Structures are given as structure tokens and as C-alpha cells.
Structure 1
């Protein structure tokens, strides 16, 4: 695969079968993703090639309209550059093929763009009023810490108030190192499952695209990718309130209240709220529910090992504990509606006998002298 190091044109990528397999089938046997991230210039070429390749597959693939506009403009520029490079001494057949190839790609983009309009694909258009992640964090005067998940598995983030966030791949969260004042605010781009430490005097706000989710203490999921047409909020426990961000014009419905197993789908194109009172009737939501939203945290005379296994499955963490010392330990406890740190504290306190835990990223180490 060393030949790709010499790729300088979009056509080079489009003619590479391995590249096509990566983009169209998500099969990355040759390490395209890692290779792409090694160079900013390389990443730009790869992105342009990706957009063009997907455009020629419309309507089977979904492409954002801004990407199409940008790629179309880039393609026409390249056509002009190619035509200028071709002088009269060049073979007319080569000249024709080059122009035909690039013009064909541009035509494919025009057709793809037209298809998006014809089929009324719910894509955010340049005319829509959207709120970007950078706009949100720029509105905050506090020094924010940003956590980005560039891995292929969810990552746990523990906030200063004890709240926890299970941040999905290709997502990022900005939050203050220490919450001050009368509010707790965080900013999300992508998807995260939140378990909020209860504090009625200090409400918690999740800013994501054009909406704000307000809670006091509960668990819920927010899905808000910048290139997606909808924002979703799904409640597991407690109650949340969702409203439009002050950075956009007020929608017809100022606030929506959601209870357990209810959800909201906010359509960014027309700023409309669609409340879903029974998530089991929504196929998209049902398919997206993760382990943490399905597993029960109510335990009655259950082995500690099984409790740790449930936590591992829910949060995608690894728990190292003294199996021999705790093999005969059974607990009866409720860990529902508790952030991860609080769950671990309750389990350790229930075990007793100098049982403590230490957390480092997705690794948790339990030390104990055994059961009480």
C-alpha cells in the first residue's frame, strides 16, 4: 500500500479498490483511517475523494448538502486547472479522457444534489439556522475542558460534581473543570449518555446543537451530531425539560417535558419538536438503545462478581478486583439512577472491610480485605 503515499489527485483515490472498500463498505483492512490522520493535507484529499465517491452512489448513500456544494466547487476548479495544464502538444485522446473524467464526476454531483432535493432528504441546508458546537462553547466565559473520543468504543467521563457521561465515538464534550455558580453547563457534539448527580439547587444543562436539556438529577441520552438533521433526547430515569437554544429564533413550543421511556426528536430544519411517548413504537430509537439503557441495576442477594459484570457491560469498563476475597460476597442494593462513581461508592460501602476503588479512564481497580 505504499503507492498511496504518492497520491496527489482525487482520481488516484477513486481508482483504488481498497479505498473504495473502506468508504463504501467500511472495510479498513489496509489502515486507511490511521494513514489519513497522519497529514492534514492528506486528510483534505481523502475527504474530497470520499464525498465524490459517495456522490456517485446516491441515493444509496446519504451526503450532506454542504459537502456536495463544496465538492462541486472543488471539482470545477480542478477541471479548469486540468484544462490549463493541457497544451496543444498533448494527445487529443488523453485530453478528452481527462476532461470527460472530471466532468463526469461533476455531473454526478449535480445529479446527486438534485436527487437530494427531489427526494426531499431531511438534510440541514446552508439556509437553515444552525448552531455549531464552537458557537456554543464561545458563549461560555468559563475555562472549559474538552474531551474528544477518537477511539472505536465509548469512553467514561467523570465530572467534578460526580456526574458521569458515557461519550460515544466521534463525539466530544466540553465542561468546566469545576462547576461554579448556580448552574452546571456542558456542551456536546455527538452522542452521550448522562447520569447526573442530584442537586436541586444547581440544575444541570446539556447544550447540543439548537436545543438545551435541563435536569436536576436523572439519566438520559442526547444524540446531536453536527451533520445530522435531527437531535434526539431519550430519558431512562427521572424527568428532563428540553427547549430551543436562545441562539436561534423561538420555536412554536418553548419547552417539552420528558418522563422515563419517553423521547424527543428535534427537527433542525424547521425547529420543530416531536415528542415520542412510547419509544418501543419508534424503530430508530429502539435499535439505538444501548446496554446502559437496558440493564437493570436492582440487585437482590446477588454475587458481587455479577454486579461488577453488569457495570462492565453497561459502561464498557474493565474492573479488576480480588476475586478470591470477594467470591462469597452477595449484596442487596439499588444502583438505579446513580452516576458511575456513586454506584461504585455504594458497592464498596456495602462490601465494607476497607473496600475502595480507583478509576483511571475505563479501568477500575477495586481493593478489599473481603466481605463484612
Structure 2
């Protein structure tokens, strides 16, 4: 039987709209499941004790007397399906043991202009850039160390050959054993970039897989759903952790986005063909005023001003 059909039967039964044939489907399922799997699922608790305990709880919750013969069936089905997921779709001859307690997740987020270090339970350290979020478990599972990232972060992963470290973003999955790397995965940007500093990582996307070596970068193009690798200067993508801004032939649009993220101040461009203005330069822990003056000096056609709590970059009059 298809999953959607089985769910519909359960829903109809709980609403009191199931036919006798549909009730019989649930009743047969109950008997099969208990016969084959009760010992594993309920740790040798007798089926009759389970029936009685569930019946008591249903009566207490509803505060009224009802026939429990089929209500218990529905409750048991729901509890079992919730506990073991799609176990009932697997042949009864090869049952699986119910999983352990659910993983609890925590989230750390940064605002514009902020960075934050997160120390994970395995000793790994994650440095979040501005406007980023990291979702991670309070304790890792026995088989994998998995976290989820929105935005940008630099990872310093504690080696553990028996428990891979996996970073999931919207379109990419990056797997490592012990290494340091940077992931840039902002929703508003056209590309997602994984830049390896040390060790090795495996990057997966759109059915492709790449193993990166140090100084290699994987670039996922969202619009084309394509991924490629290239050699890069790692410092251009990781020095933000030290308060250093790098512009290496970057478009004015990219520069404005970097300044906004780095200093936490909105930047508005009123420059025609801004994508065709290219900026190069390195700024080491410089105040925003210094950076803006240098940018207007590098390109004499541009000027800036503070207006309404934001930076406005325009053509010189």
C-alpha cells in the first residue's frame, strides 16, 4: 500500500469516517506489527500490557468513555509510525530497532558588522561572518558531525577519521575529516564558494562530487546549477576573520556588499554601470571612513556621503 493511502486511512479513522474495510486494514496492521516486532520495539513488554496502558491514557486524555478496540489500534499505529518513521514500509522479516532520543539543535546568528566564534562539542571552532547563522546539535551523533550554515563561516575542524564533519548549505554539502576551510553561502549572492585552507574536503552538488586540495575553491553557480573548481589565494577569502578586507578586481557592487556586511552600515549605490567599476585594495582593520576615502581616491569618478544612517556612493558632480 502507498504511504499517502495509509496516512489517509489513519486520518479518516481518527475523524470517525473510516469504512469497515479501512478499519480492518488498521487492525490487520496492528496484529502483524505486534506479532513480528513487539519484542524489539517495546523491549519485551507484553502486548497486552501495552494495550492496557494506552487505553488508560486515551481515557484520561479524552475524559469520556469510548470503545477502545479500534481507537487503540489508531493510537498504536500513530505512535509506532512516529517512533520508527517509515519502518512499516520495510518487510517484517528485517525489522529495525527504534532510534535513540531526537537530536536537539541550537542556532547562533550574527548581525551586519558582527563576527562570532562558536565552539562545538567535538572541539571544532566555527567563526561566523556578518549576517550569518549556524545550526548545530547540542551533541553529535555516533556516526556523523553535521551542521547547517546560512551566510559565511570559517571552519577549523577537529580530526576524527571515524566521524565525518558535514556542513550543509542550501545547495551544497561539504564533508571533511579534519581541516580548515571557508564557506560563503549568502542567499542574495549568485554563487556559493567553498575555499580550502588546509586538509581535504569533499564538495557535493547537482549529482557531482569534487575533492578539494589546499588553495582550491569550489564555486556553485545558482542560476546555472553548475559547479566548478579553481585555484585561488586563500587569504582573499579567509582574512575577514582578522578584520582584513580584500578587494582583488572586485566590482563596485561586490565591494558595496562587502562593506555593508563588514561594517554593518547599509550602502546604497547610485552609480550607472556599477558592475563595470573594478576595485583593488587591502584594508587592515581600518575605520570605514578611511576605506571610503581610499575607494573614492582609487576611482576619481566616485564620491560618497553619509545620508539617513547609510552610505551613499554616487558619481562626482
Asked whether the two chains share a fold, i.e. TM above 0.5, the reply is: no
TM-score, scaled to structure 1: 0.36
- Greater Rg by CA: 2
